[in-house]
């Protein structure tokens, strides 16, 4: 079984948002301050292609990037515009003006089971814009959901307890609240964290799929501390190993067994998930400055982080799927 590798830093690159393809083991995409999206291979730690984004404004900052669930398109926000780009040709196939929040980093989510459904933070930063990529205009712009900026948004499957018959979204905001919202913009639940929220990571898979083994599905929020929330129970856990540094990104691996956090002091940390808590395993590696985004490849082989004009790439181990598949017995 192949072990963990050393971190490799790619320097002097436009840093910003980062995301892995859900279909390609090694392909990841980044956006930065140069008005382009960049495709890299994690295996060779090299750039493959650059695609320019058309932008009517002066801002060139690409504040969010995501692959659609079929891996064929990249969605990117630049200024207040959301653009869809064909991965193979680099052609901009769809564009939505005045629909997204213009900031250094913003929330953008892709439906993991439907290639044409996406959600971004709306222009004033306090609500959501629902996108159907088959249509030329946004499906819906919600009323304001928060009194401050929405910092992150994720899709939840209909197995989560709030709306069994439809897909739901979970937001995080600077106002210290997280809200469960239906795809038609109806708020269902308001979770009060009491501090700024910056990032969301929900345990993968169906809700409480591992309940027979004592594992509850949980949502982890990044902020001044990492908070663990269990539906119908509340905030149950607080992780504070990062000290005074704010946590900018939280991510689970594909099985939900390991949690990774990245903070404003440039440190990536790792936790092991147990039935009732997360146990700190230690630092993974460090950047010299704040980490702005983090992503894990679809087979848990690679971890990528974005910092000031630098990307960190680390091989976590063998893939958890395919001809070299392995698993852990705990």
In the numeric block, which tokens belong to residue 275?
């039935």
Q: Order across the sheet with 8-11: list the strands.
A: 8-11, 310-315, 302-307, 293-296
Residue 249's H or E segment, with its range, is strand 247-252
Write the pLDDT tens digit of every residue in 245-275.
999 999 999 999 999 999 999 999 999 999 9
Per the model's pLDDT, the better-predicted residue between 65 and 53 turns out to be 65
Q: Give the gyration radius of the chain's Cα atoms.
A: 18
* CA 265 and chain centroid, separation: 19
Taking the C-alpha atoms of residue 100 and residue 120, their distance in angstroms, rounded to an integer, is: 6
In the numeric block, which tokens belong to residue 282?
């230690």
The answer, yes or no, to whether residue 329 has pLDDT greater than 60, is no
Reported as half-sphere exposure (CB side, CA atoms, 13 A), residue 301 has a value of 23
Taking the C-alpha atoms of residue 73 and residue 22, their distance in angstroms, rounded to an integer, is: 11
Per the model's pLDDT, the better-predicted residue between 195 and 1 turns out to be 195
In the numeric block, which tokens belong to residue 36?
């382009």
The band of 198, judged by pLDDT with boundaries at 50, 70 and 90, is very high
Select, from the ranges 32-36, 192-196, 280-284, the one with the highest average predicted confidence (pLDDT): 280-284
Section 56-73 average pLDDT? 85
The band of 34, judged by pLDDT with boundaries at 50, 70 and 90, is confident
* CA 127 and chain centroid, separation: 18
The band of 187, judged by pLDDT with boundaries at 50, 70 and 90, is very high
The band of 57, judged by pLDDT with boundaries at 50, 70 and 90, is low
C-alpha separations of 232 from 162, 187, 221 in Å: 10, 16, 16
| Mean predicted lDDT score pLDDT of the chain | 91
Count of CB atoms situated within 10 Å of the CB of 243: 9
Section 154-160 average pLDDT? 92
- pLDDT for 285: 97
- pLDDT for 324: 57
Share of the chain above pLDDT 70, in %: 95
Write the pLDDT tens digit of every residue in 285-307.
999 999 999 999 999 999 999 99
Section 233-252 average pLDDT? 95
C-alpha separations of 276 from 215, 216, 221, 237 in Å: 7, 8, 16, 9
Write the pLDDT tens digit of every residue in 110-146.
999 999 999 999 999 999 999 999 999 999 999 999 9
Reported as half-sphere exposure (CB side, CA atoms, 13 A), residue 326 has a value of 12
The band of 11, judged by pLDDT with boundaries at 50, 70 and 90, is confident
The answer, yes or no, to whether residue 108 has pLDDT greater than 70, is yes
């Amino acid at each position: 079984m192949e072990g963990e590798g050393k971190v490799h830093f790619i320097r002097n690159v436009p840093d910003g948002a980062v995301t892995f393809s859900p279909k390609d083991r090694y392909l990841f995409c980044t956006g930065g301050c140069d008005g382009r999206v960049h495709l890299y291979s994690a295996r060779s730690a090299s750039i493959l292609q650059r695609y320019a984004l058309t932008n009517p404004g002066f801002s060139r900052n690409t504040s969010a990037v995501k692959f659609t669930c079929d891996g064929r398109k990249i969605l990117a926000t630049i200024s207040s515009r959301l653009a869809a780009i064909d991965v193979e040709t680099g052609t901009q196939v769809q564009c939505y003006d005045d629909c997204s929040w213009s900031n250094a980093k913003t929330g953008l989510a892709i439906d993991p089971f439907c290639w044409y459904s996406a959600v971004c933070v709306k222009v004033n930063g306090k609500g959501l814009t629902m996108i159907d990529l088959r249509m030329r205009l946004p499906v819906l712009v919600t009323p304001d959901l928060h009194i401050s900026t929405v910092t992150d948004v994720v899709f939840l499957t209909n197995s989560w307890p709030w709306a069994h018959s439809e897909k739901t979204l979970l937001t995080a905001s600077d106002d210290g609240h997280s809200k469960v919202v239906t795809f038609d913009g109806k708020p269902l639940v308001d979770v009060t964290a009491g501090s700024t929220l910056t990032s969301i990571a929900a345990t993968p898979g169906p809700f409480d799929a591992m309940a027979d083994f004592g594992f509850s599905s949980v949502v982890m929020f990044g902020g001044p501390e990492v908070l663990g929330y269990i539906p119908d129970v509340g905030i149950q856990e607080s992780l504070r190993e990062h000290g005074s540094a704010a946590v900018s990104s939280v991510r689970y691996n594909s099985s939900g067994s390991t949690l990774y956090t990245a903070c404003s002091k440039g440190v990536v940390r790792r936790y092991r998930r147990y039935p009732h808590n997360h146990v700190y395993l230690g630092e993974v590696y460090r950047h010299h400055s704040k980490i702005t985004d983090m992503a894990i490849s679809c087979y848990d082989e690679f971890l990528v982080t974005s910092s000031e004009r630098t990307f960190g790439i680390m091989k976590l181990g063998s893939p958890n799927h395919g001809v070299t598949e392995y698993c852990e017995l705990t």
